[in-house]
Each structure stands twice: as C-alpha cells, then as structure tokens.
Amino acid sequence: MIALACDHGGFELMKAVRGYLESAGYTYEDFGTFSADSCDYPTIAAPAAKAIANGDCDRGIFICGTGVGISIAANKVHGIRAALCTGVPMAELCRDHNDANVLALGGRVIDADLAIEIVKVFLTKDFSNEEKHKRRVAMLNQL
C-alpha cells in the first residue's frame, strides 16, 4: 500500500501519479489534499508519514510545489527516509543506497511524464542490502 500526500502545489501532478498507480494496479491510501485550495503541507504529510512508519503503508509519494517542504515535514517522522527526486538516477540511488521509503516530488518543477518515470523506478527498485548501505540506513534510523 502506498501513502499519497500532496498540498495545493502538488495537486495537479498528484492526479497524474494517481492515474499511473491505478493503471499499473497499485493500491494506495490518499491522505489529500483533495482540491487546489491553499493548504499546509505539514498537516498532510504527517499522517501519511506516520502510516508508513507504523507499517500501515509500505512507501509514500508526497508532492508539494518544489518537493522540499513536504520532504522536510516527512523526515520529521521517525523511521521516514524521504528523498526529493528530480530525475530517474536519483530515484534509483535513493532506493538502492538509502532504502528511501518516501518519494518527494515538486509539482511546479517537473512535468508529469518525468514524474511517472521517477515513480516507476522508485516503486520497483529494491534496496541493495549491501553491508555499507545497511549500516548507513541503520545509522539514519538511530538519529
């Protein structure tokens, strides 16, 4: 199960992401927002991140205008490793090296086609399980 969260700045891009997830057969829980009306990303990111941290959801896709604010909010929740990705190589490496469990995207800085390519990689790429990466993720979890 994938947790989805966006603010007004990510609302349009999230529509495209939801469309892709549905067409590919993924299940998700949508934490909103559900309109383009101005809202505060921390209030939307927090419950979605907590759903991942407590195991109700496996991963998350969070979108705000730049991806920066919503990734900061998500990373405040213990156990979350949110990665802001603007390209496919970043999505590959955040999964391979960091076992990122939240993908953050910027609705005002990337287009839907690129976002979908990033989402595809984020959802299909596995963590490497290399010792050095496991050690570093464990260190992150201790912070």
- Residues with catalytic function: 64, 97
How does DSSP classify residue 63?
E
- What is the separation, in whole angstroms, between the first and last Cα of the chain? 26
CA distance 124 to 8: 27
CA distance 102 to 46: 12
Backbone angles phi, psi at 3, to 5 degrees: -90, 130
CA distance 98 to 108: 25
Tell me if 13 sits within 8 A of 6, measured CB to CB. Answer: yes
The continuous run of DSSP H or E covering 64 comes out as strand 59-64
How does DSSP classify residue 78?
T
